[in-house]
């Protein structure tokens, strides 16, 4: 099994920055790609960003392109989400997820989430 624990959420003013971290533990050798998702109150969970096993490929939701950057430290089994120029509409619970293959969009493991609140 794989466990994912997010950290780094909090309250920030619009225009500010936050860096989320997701630490993986357990059978981390089975993890391929990882991703970040978010869910705002009353809305469905949505994709934010993803990164491949070797970190060479990334993809972002249009709403965060140019503002958010996903990266990973393979040695430490950690994935990061650097969020700049935050907007009130970025307010949500952010979830880290891991998948077992870079050739599927299905995520097999999820973290508990971390709250990000952006004030106007």
**What's the pLDDT at 1?**
92
Q: Which tens digit of pLDDT belongs to each residue from 33-70?
A: 999 999 999 999 999 999 999 889 999 999 999 999 99
Residue 102 banded pLDDT, cuts 50, 70, 90: confident
Neighbours of 91 (CB within 10 A): 18
Query: Strand 10-13 to strand 114-119: parallel, antiparallel, or no bridges (unpaired)?
Result: parallel
**Model confidence at 105: pLDDT above 90:** no
Integer angstrom CA distances of residue 26 from 18, 30, 97: 27, 10, 14
In this prediction, residue 83 carries a pLDDT of 98
**pLDDT confidence of residue 94:** 98
In this predicted model, what pLDDT tens digit does every residue of 2-24 receive, in sequence order?
Answer: 999 999 999 999 999 999 999 99
As a whole number of angstroms, the distance between CA 35 and CA 29 comes to 16
Q: How many C-alpha atoms does 5 have within 13 Å on its Cβ side? A: 3
Q: In the prediction, which pLDDT does 4 show? A: 97
What contacts 24+ positions apart, CB below 8 Å, involve 24-27? Answer: 24/77, 24/78, 24/79, 24/98, 25/77, 26/1, 26/2, 27/1, 27/2
Q: Which two tokens stand for residue 57?
A: 């490929």
Looking at residue 2, its pLDDT comes to: 95
Residue 55 pLDDT: 87
Cβ burial, residue 41 (10 Å; 0-12/13-18/19+): exposed
pLDDT category, 103, cuts 50, 70, 90? confident
């Amino acid at each position: 099994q794989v466990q994912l624990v997010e950290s780094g959420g909090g309250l920030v003013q619009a225009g500010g920055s936050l860096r989320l971290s997701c630490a993986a533990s357990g059978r981390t050798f089975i993890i391929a790609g990882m991703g970040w998702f978010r869910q705002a109150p009353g809305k469905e969970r949505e994709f934010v960003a993803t990164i491949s096993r070797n970190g060479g490929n990334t993809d972002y939701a249009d709403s965060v392109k140019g503002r958010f950057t996903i990266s990973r430290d393979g040695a430490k089994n950690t994935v990061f989400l650097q969020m700049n120029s935050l907007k009130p509409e970025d307010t949500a619970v952010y979830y880290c997820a891991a998948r077992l293959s870079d050739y599927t969009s299905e995520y097999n493991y999820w973290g508990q989430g971390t709250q990000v609140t952006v004030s106007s």
